[in-house]
Amino acid sequence: MENNRTEDIKQDQAEFFNLMNRYNNVDRKIIKANLKRLMKEKEIKPNDIMLLFTKDFTINNVYAWTNKAANNIPLFDQAFNIATKFNFSVEEFLKEI
């Protein structure tokens, strides 16, 4: 039984690592465009993100992620937290638009 649990954990970790690698290797413009799309579709305001993660995100982070002039995007762990809190898959950030 313990062996099955260990295998499940390894599988989960492998899937998570694969997702993280995909996120980190996709074009930043795709992630930025999807962030803007998701914020619009789900009616998420920058302040909503900041209120959830006051220790992790500053107003400058969130606005830089949505600003056309900046090339900033959320780091994978930030994107994962946003997706979790707003109930969508982090893979939404990776969709071709």
Domain span including residue 7? 2-94
Please state, in angstroms and rounded to a whole number, the distance separating the CA atoms of residues 79 and 12.
Answer: 18
What's the pLDDT tens digit per position in 14-41?
A: 999 999 999 999 999 999 999 999 999 9
What is the 8-class DSSP label of residue 47?
A: H
- The domain total for the chain is 1
User: Comparing C-alpha atoms, which of 67, 77, 7 is closest to residue 39?
Assistant: 67
Show the CA angle centred on residue 30, arms to residues 69 and 22, nearest 5°.
Answer: 130
Considering the chain, what is the average pLDDT of its residues?
A: 89
Q: Please tell me the predicted confidence (pLDDT) of residue 24.
A: 96
Supply the Cα-derived Rg of the chain in whole angstroms. 15
Percent of residues, the chain, with pLDDT higher than 90: 57
